[in-house]
Amino acid sequence: MQEKFYLTTAIDYVNGAPHIGHAYEKILSDVIIRHKRQLTDNAYMLTGTDEHGIKIQKTAGEKGITPKELCDENFSKFEEAWKELEISYDQIIRTTDEQHKRVVKQIFKKIYENGDIYKHSYKGLYCAGCETFLNPKDLTEDGLCPVHMKKPEEVTEENYFFRLSKYKEKIANHIKTHPEFIQPSIRVNEILNQLENIEDISVSRTKASVQWGIGVDGDDTQTIYVWIDALSNYITAIGYDIENPSEKFNKLWPANVHVIGKDIIKFHSIYWSAILMSLGLPLANTIFAHGWITIDQSKMSKSLGNVIAPHTVLEAFNLEKPDAFRYYMASAALSGKDGNYSDEDFKEKVNADLANNIGNLLNRTLNMLVKYFEGEIKPEFVSNNNSKIAILAENTKKQVIEHFNHYEIAEASNTIVSFADAVNKYVTETAPWSLAKEEKMIECGQVLYNVLEAMRYIAILIHPYCPNIATDILTQLDEKIDFKYDNLVWGKLKQGKITEKDKIKPVFLRLDSEFATDKKKA
């Protein structure tokens, strides 16, 4: 069993409803935390919503409602989406929570008292979409924000600034001496290059510009800005307090991993690191930056009309459980790379991997067990852990753990499916139906045992991606529903009568199957 594991996601901006990009990050995070719960009883997942700022203020004004009403309305949409996708977070924080606001004021004051915040008049180019000031060198040739493709606004304000440049060398040294800090490693040089020209950053906005936010104690002209407000959620949520940190905070911090999109890695690896250094707190072990999800090879855009809500996918394919969508999204892109969603690819992949490969393997093996042995696994069928499939199962388990240790979620799923492929090939090669025909019943039973024990391994390994399918597999094997890795020991498959003909059902129906079609029509 491993020690504690604390995972955080980026907190979602509640200026609109959740889309497939939000879902991608939360599914990745949920798959990671479910895997870690298989290894430890002390795994904790935090997610949340970012609820302050000019965009929410403007959108609420356009709708004729208060910013808090807009936040409440959209927060409920995120909460419902994560429930539908079975995101098993332990806590969800809102930056409008009173506890968060109280501690953010403490944090701002502490950093100010440390001499790391000062007041300064500033003229710069401000992107409302990024909620940050941009340097001219950051813009496109046409002078646009490279993320939002809009011209930033020229703003002159007197704000509080954080001495980010003071921590430049310390952060660079940490990155160089902690190779696990930024994952995937292809992002390291990008961050080190950004550090070379890093400048102090604004950590407040005038209330004339941004009223919707946390005020600076002792200065009623200023609103605390996103970098101290939003980023601090990772510690305020678990009970950080300047004077008296909670037992929960002391147990969980530092975070084992911040799961974020590649577009905000600079803010986490540089800004957040410097804030933590100023507070005298240890940095997170790892910042894992995933790629983006495109739709039919195009970036999601309201103007293109290709922004997809996760619910619409479940609805379109009549999926009562989210397993197929979770599996597809978690395996959509190799670590840190961009992925793509298309209806056709979704259907083809889940049919091939979940229905044809894993589902069919279980179904036909159980049917043979009923046909030849009345659903009974006899003691003489049990093979030792030196069998070809047993060795492959153990190697697969080790590879999956290794992939997860490096946040290679798609790679881990590919390893599991490859194992299922190998077991299918083993069935073809050993031909248990031929063994039965030749009345080699012990050999036939041993083959079926190996396959069903491999299916037990597959159920436990794939549980983080497909919790319902995994449960159905163990149920059909008449196994206790327990997904801990302690159970991944070859030879633990239950003996005796484990199934009957009427108990054998597909664990995943092909999306275009006759049964699925009839169900949809009904």
By the 10 Å C-beta count (0-12 exposed, 13-18 middle, 19+ buried), 196 is classed as exposed
d(CA 367, CA 373): 10
CA proximity to 18, closest of 109, 79, 99, 105: 79
Read off the tokens for 216.
Answer: 């600076």
d(CA 360, CA 352): 10
Read off the tokens for 179.
Answer: 């190779």
d(CA 165, CA 451): 59
By the 10 Å C-beta count (0-12 exposed, 13-18 middle, 19+ buried), 169 is classed as exposed
Q: Which residues are CB-neighbours of 479 under 8 A, at least 6 positions away?
A: 456, 459, 493, 494
Residue 488 to residues 381, 422, 456, 483: CA-CA distances in angstroms?
19, 18, 8, 9
Candidates 36, 71, 130, 403; catalytic one: 130
Whether the Cβ atoms of residue 454 and residue 423 lie closer than 8 Å to each other: yes
Whether the Cβ atoms of residue 293 and residue 306 lie closer than 8 Å to each other: no
Candidates 83, 150, 299, 371; catalytic one: 299
Q: What is the DSSP string of 63-130?
A: HTS-HHHHHHHHHHHHHHHHHHTT---SEEEETTSHHHHHHHHHHHHHHHHTT-EEEEEEEEEEETTT
Candidates 22, 26, 35, 262; catalytic one: 22
Q: Give catalytic status of residue 127 as yes or no.
A: yes
Candidates 71, 105, 127, 268; catalytic one: 127
Candidates 26, 36, 145, 266; catalytic one: 145
Helices (H) and strands (E) in the chain, counts: 21, 18
Q: What is the DSSP string of 428-464?
A: HHH-HHHHHHTT-HHHHHHHHHHHHHHHHHHHHHHTT
Cα radius of gyration rounded to whole Å, the chain: 26
Q: Give catalytic status of residue 302 as yes or no.
A: yes
Q: Give the SS3 label for residue 260.
A: strand
Tell me if the bond preceding 18 is cis, omega within 30° of 0: no
Read off the tokens for 209.
Answer: 């510009």
Burial per residue of 131-142, b for 16 or more beta-carbon CB atoms within 10 angstroms, e otherwise: bbbbeeebbeee
Q: Give catalytic status of residue 22 as yes or no.
A: yes
CA proximity to 171, closest of 265, 47, 50: 265
Q: What is the DSSP string of 46-61?
A: EEEEE--SHHHHHHHH
DSSP conformational letter for 500: -
Task: Enumerate the H helices of 114-264 as residue ranges.
Answer: 168-177, 188-196, 226-229, 233-236, 247-252
Candidates 137, 302, 480, 521; catalytic one: 302
Candidates 63, 68, 120, 148; catalytic one: 148
By the 10 Å C-beta count (0-12 exposed, 13-18 middle, 19+ buried), 199 is classed as exposed
Residues annotated as catalytic (active site), given as ranges: 19, 22, 127, 130, 145, 148, 299, 302
